[in-house]
Amino acid sequence: MLNNKIPPVVVVVFFAAVMALIAHYTVIDFTAFITYLALGLVAIGCFFCIAGVVSFRLAKTTVLPNKPEQATSLVTSGVYKLSRNPMYLGFAFILAGWGVWLSSIWAFLGIVGYVGYLTLFQIIPEERALHQLFGEQFEDYKSRVKRWL
C-alpha cells in the first residue's frame, strides 16, 4: 500500500550521513553554546519519539510505520494533540540537533530533504491508509491537528 519500502529510521540515518558530508566541506565556527543547543534539540526529538511510541503502546496499536493498515485504533491523545506525526517530528528535531553539532548551516538542507521525503513517501500514504481505516474520524482529527507541528 505504501510507496516507500525504506524504513523511516534508515531514511534518518541516510540524511544524517548526507548532513555530515555537507558539514565536512562547509564548517562554520559557532560559539560555545553549540553543545547545549544540539543536546537540547536532540532531547526534544527524543521526547517526541518516545511520547509517540508510548501513546501507541497505551492504545495497544501498532507502531510499525510500514504497516498502517494494522492500526487497531486512531491515536489522538497525548503528544498526538500537538502533531499527527510526533515520531517523525522527533527525528527532525534530532537531525536539527545533529546539524547544530556539525556547525554547518548548509547541513540543515538534510532536514528539508528528510521532511520532504517522509511527507511524500511515508506520511501521505499513511494518511491514505488511515482514511480508509477510520474515515470521518481521521478527517476530523486531520482538520484539528497539523501534520508536523
Per-residue pLDDT of 101-137, as tens digits, reads: 998 899 999 999 999 999 999 999 999 999 999 999 9
Report if residue 23 sits inside a domain: yes
Rounded Cα gap, residues 4 and 128, in angstroms: 13
Range of the domain at 38: 8-144
Give the per-residue pLDDT at 48: 98
Report if residue 2 sits inside a domain: no
Its pTM stands at 0.85
- Ranges of residues in the chain with a pLDDT under 50 are none
Rounded Cα gap, residues 14 and 30, in angstroms: 25
Report if residue 149 sits inside a domain: no
Give the per-residue pLDDT at 49: 97
Report if residue 3 sits inside a domain: no
Give the per-residue pLDDT at 29: 64
